[in-house]
Chains A and B, each alone.
Chain A
Amino acid sequence: AQTVTQSQPEMSVQEAETVTLSCTYDTSENNYYLFWYKQPPSRQMILVIRQEAYKQQNATENRFSVNFQKAAKSFSLKISDSQLGDTAMYFCAFMKHGSGGGADGLTFGKGTHLIIQP
């Protein structure tokens, strides 16, 4: 079984600052995928960014980027130029390549509550 650990229950930064959320995971799998989802109070889970474990290049999506360290099993999220709308719960998630190549579920960390202060 795999586990995902987010060691920061809550973080607070000023608008326009850069913030990094940490995530570590433990797995014996070779093929897997990592995701960051955000869940605002409206409760819908929204994909922020994803990373395939076989890709060495770190994923980026506009203001969001990851630092993926496969050997260290670390997958941190950096948010640049933070905005008020970034306030949300952020979940790091792991998905292994399903048996037979099929779909599999996500394993989530406990989440980091990010607050962007005006």
Chain B
Amino acid sequence: DTEVTQTPKHLVMGMTNKKSLKCEQHMGHRAMYWYKQKAKKPPELMFVYSYEKLSINESVPSRFSPECPNSSLLNLHLHALQPEDSALYLCASSQADRVSQPQHFGDGTRLSIL
């Protein structure tokens, strides 16, 4: 069982819908991440939160809006997405003050945009 829980596992939405992806961890990690993975490609970093503050935004379009309401929870709010945004969205967490420690990944949310 993964220690990073992502919901939902699958999501199908239209281009005008608003939806949110959720990620939760209870390992006491203070760094959390969102990655996007297209089919047969490696994950690409989107956002990094450190101590609940956004520290890295890899020039992600504003239709993706991250939120970290507390140290255990990370959300990704979606609005007006495009078909090319269909992908696997992976959440990860790690210790923020010991950067040599690995990132732990969730199972991902498979997102399909109609």
A interface with B by C-beta (< 8 Å): 33, 35, 37, 42-47, 50, 52, 91, 95, 97-98, 101-111
Contacts and interface: CB of A to CB of B under 8 A. Distances in A.
Contact of A44 (B2, B41, B96): B2
Contacts of A108: 42-44
Nearest to B29: A103
A108 B103 CA distance: 13
A103 B100 contact: no
18 contacts: A35-B102, A44-B105, A45-B92, A47-B102, A47-B103, A50-B100, A91-B43, A98-B50, A102-B96, A102-B99, A103-B99, A104-B48, A104-B99, A105-B56, A106-B43, A108-B42, A108-B43, A109-B42
Contacts of A101: 97, 99
B7 to A, nearest CB: 14
Contacts of B108: 43-44
A51 to B, nearest CB: 10
Contact of B100 (A44, A52, A91, A107): A52
B99 A106 contact: no
A98 to B, nearest CB: 6
